[in-house]
């Protein structure tokens, strides 16, 4: 579904992402992990069209999406969420999600129906008329997923969607993602919480200094010496 080849991004003299090549198959949940500054969020931003790669290619469903703007990438079926939640603060939750739904539905009636459907899915239906600025963190994280979901993505890029949540809340998110995956949405997730990655991912890609140092099932990854080195080595 998604083929990333030799993706590279330089910031000044620094290389944030270095010749990254990987694939995501339809129906998968792929975890992207790595220490701080490994280039995960930069990779996400490039995939979603927010920053142009210095070189390399991104192919989605057989077509290169290089050079497309974020809204065009979204229309093709790739939607991202943000690590730092980005609600529309002075719009209601329903309106927040409707903005996403409008990516697929031009009519307001349809967009509202879609948004209400999504709100049920992310357990925010009871908050439909609350303003974005009046939500707590868990609700904001749910809203972040809800907005993205309303665009009916085939590939959803989740950026640290569990960060800052309590254990029970994290479990909520896990259940939701697994369900959505069963319904056919492919996921690429960046996450710091190992619990999330290990529980959800079919496959994990490990980045360090912008390069892929390992990939495999969660089990394989935890035994990979290169990964242990990257995560533990520096402190040892």
Distance between CA atoms of 188 and 185, rounded to whole angstroms? 10
- Residues 184 and 27: beta-carbon distance below 8 Å: yes
The contact pattern for other proteins, residues 106-125, with x = CB under 8 A and - = no contact, is: xxx--x--------------
User: Which tokens go with 149?
Assistant: 């979901």
Distance between CA atoms of 55 and 42, rounded to whole angstroms? 13
For other proteins, the closer CB: 98 or 221: 98
For other proteins, the closer CB: 148 or 196: 148
- Min dist. Cβ of residue 18 to other proteins (A): 25
Q: Considering CB under 8 A, how many residues would be counted as binding other proteins?
A: 32
Phi, psi values for residue 106, rounded to 5°: -85, -30
For other proteins, the closer CB: 91 or 163: 91
Residues in 137-176 that interact with other proteins by CB under 8 A: 147-148, 150-151
Between the alpha carbon of residue 78 and those of residues 2, 149, 171, the distances in Å are 10, 10, 25
Site residues (CB under 8 A) for other proteins?
48, 50, 69-71, 74-75, 79-82, 86-91, 95, 98-100, 102-103, 106-108, 111, 132, 147-148, 150-151
């Amino acid at each position: 579904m998604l083929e990333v080849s030799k993706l590279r991004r330089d910031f000044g003299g620094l290389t944030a992402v270095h010749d990254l090549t990987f694939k995501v198959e339809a129906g998968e949940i792929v975890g992207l992990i790595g220490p701080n500054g490994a280039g995960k969020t930069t990779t996400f931003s490039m995939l979603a069209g927010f920053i142009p790669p210095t070189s390399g290619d991104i192919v989605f469903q057989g077509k290169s999406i290089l050079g497309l703007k974020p809204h065009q990438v979204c229309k093709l079926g790739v939607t991202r969420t943000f690590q730092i939640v980005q609600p529309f603060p002075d719009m209601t939750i329903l309106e927040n999600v409707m903005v996403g739904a409008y990516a697929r539905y031009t009519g307001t009636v349809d967009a509202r129906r879609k948004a209400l459907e999504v709100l049920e899915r992310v357990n925010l239906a009871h908050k439909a008329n609350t303003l974005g600025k009046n939500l707590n963190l868990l609700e904001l994280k749910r809203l972040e997923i809800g907005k993205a979901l309303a665009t009916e993505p085939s590939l959803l890029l989740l950026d640290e969607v569990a960060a800052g949540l309590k254990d029970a809340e994290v479990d909520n998110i896990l259940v939701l993602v697994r369900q959505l995956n069963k319904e056919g949405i492919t996921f690429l997730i960046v996450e710091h919480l190992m619990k999330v990655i290990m529980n959800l991912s079919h496959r994990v890609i490990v980045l360090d200094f912008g390069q892929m140092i390992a990939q495999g099932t969660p089990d394989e990854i935890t035994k990979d010496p290169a990964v242990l080195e990257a995560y533990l080595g520096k402190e040892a």
